[in-house]
Amino acid sequence: MITIKDVFEDYKQLNNIYHSTETEALTLLVISQIIKLSKASIKAFPERELSVEQSDQLKDVLLRLQTGEPVQYILGETEFYGLPFKVNPSVLIPRPETEELVEWILETCGGLFAENSEHFTGSILDIGTGSGCIAISIKKNLPNAKVSAVDISESALQTARKNSGLNKTDIHFIHNDILNWQAQTAKFDLYNLIVSNPPYVTLLDKKQMHANVTDHEPHSALFVPEDDPLLFYHTIADFALAKLPANGLLFFEINENYGPETVEMLRKKGFTDIILKQDMSGRDRMVKAAKL
């Protein structure tokens, strides 16, 4: 019988792919999911023996991790803004930076009302929803808001619908290509707030990314042409001009290399009160703008 300590030793094979601290965190996460123990208990009882079934599962996960497959896809789930989400190769894995975007939106909506954000009753659209993490997290914290979400991928929407059910939220999902929204404008209402974390990774950025992202996560949700890095931002900004009322808000997660360019694009289109915000790592990551 192998022990928890033995598993940590076996998983050190991942040090040729990940930094040792990341390997340890991955190992802790996998053990916790497989044997259903808290991370504190795992650390407290390293000599605990595992069943044959648990040992086999942990070996299978290790083999998949060695190929670079993200642990979230292997386990089939992750956490975002304190909520559980199912994930698979049809959707991007939610990132901590996107949690910061959600937090900014909730703080802003809270500021619009005398008491707190729960009283926000406006209409919100999440463009390029993927797993639904932004829309669902917002709805969970703004229960009186009417939240819709759109994506070009039907398989992504299937995952988002499952996550909406998992988190007991009522979201209106729309299957549509936002780059061609004018051809199907009747599918969309007017919104008080629009948010998007669209594709923004260029081919140059791709060369600097870890293979477990570029080899496994959906390219349609990641990459844009090198000669048109703001493709989605231009289109979504035009959409927002048509679908936001005066003083309606637009939020973006952005490519850190195009912060000033994104701000200037919005300024030229007539948006006001534009704010470029950095993430916890000090990188340009989010933009907020208001329609005149």
Segment 277-289 shows an average pLDDT of 97
Q: Is residue 80 part of a domain?
A: no
Considering the domain architecture, whether residues 120 and 205 belong to the same structural domain is answered as yes
123-127, strands of its sheet edge to edge: 171-175, 146-151, 123-127, 193-196, 249-253, 284-290, 272-278
CA distance 162 to 22: 29
Q: Is residue 46 part of a domain?
A: yes
CA distance 92 to 79: 13
Domain count, the chain: 2
pLDDT reading at 236 higher than 70: yes
Segment 28-32 shows an average pLDDT of 96
Q: Is residue 224 part of a domain?
A: yes
> Over the stretch 82-112, which tens digit does the pLDDT of each residue have?
999 999 999 999 999 999 999 999 999 976 6
Considering the domain architecture, whether residues 119 and 254 belong to the same structural domain is answered as yes
Considering the domain architecture, whether residues 58 and 147 belong to the same structural domain is answered as no
Q: Is residue 61 part of a domain?
A: yes
Considering the domain architecture, whether residues 62 and 97 belong to the same structural domain is answered as no
Q: Is residue 264 part of a domain?
A: yes
Considering the domain architecture, whether residues 103 and 56 belong to the same structural domain is answered as no
> Over the stretch 41-54, which tens digit does the pLDDT of each residue have?
999 999 999 999 99
Segment 12-18 shows an average pLDDT of 94
Query: Are 182 and 241 a contacting pair, CB within 8 Å?
Result: no
β-strand 272-278 against 249-253: which pairing, if any? unpaired
CA distance 17 to 198: 28
pLDDT reading at 7 higher than 50: yes
Distance, first Cα to last Cα, the chain: 67
Domain that holds residue 34: 4-67
Q: Is residue 40 part of a domain?
A: yes
CATH number at residue 167: 3.40.50.150
Considering the domain architecture, whether residues 110 and 51 belong to the same structural domain is answered as no
pLDDT reading at 206 higher than 60: no
CA distance 91 to 42: 30
Counting residues of the chain whose pLDDT is more than 90, the rounded percentage is 83
β-strand 249-253 against 193-196: which pairing, if any? parallel
Mean pLDDT of the chain: 91
Considering the domain architecture, whether residues 149 and 266 belong to the same structural domain is answered as yes
* Assigned token pair, 8: 């940590």
Considering the domain architecture, whether residues 263 and 157 belong to the same structural domain is answered as yes
Side-chain half-sphere CA neighbours of 227 within 13 A: 0
**φ, ψ for residue 150 (rounded to 5)?**
-125, 145
> Over the stretch 118-152, which tens digit does the pLDDT of each residue have?
678 899 999 999 999 999 999 999 999 999 999 99
Q: Is residue 72 part of a domain?
A: no
pLDDT reported for residue 121: 84
β-strand 249-253 against 284-290: which pairing, if any? antiparallel
Segment 17-40 shows an average pLDDT of 94
Helices and strands (H, E) in the chain, number of each type: 12, 9
CA distance 39 to 25: 10
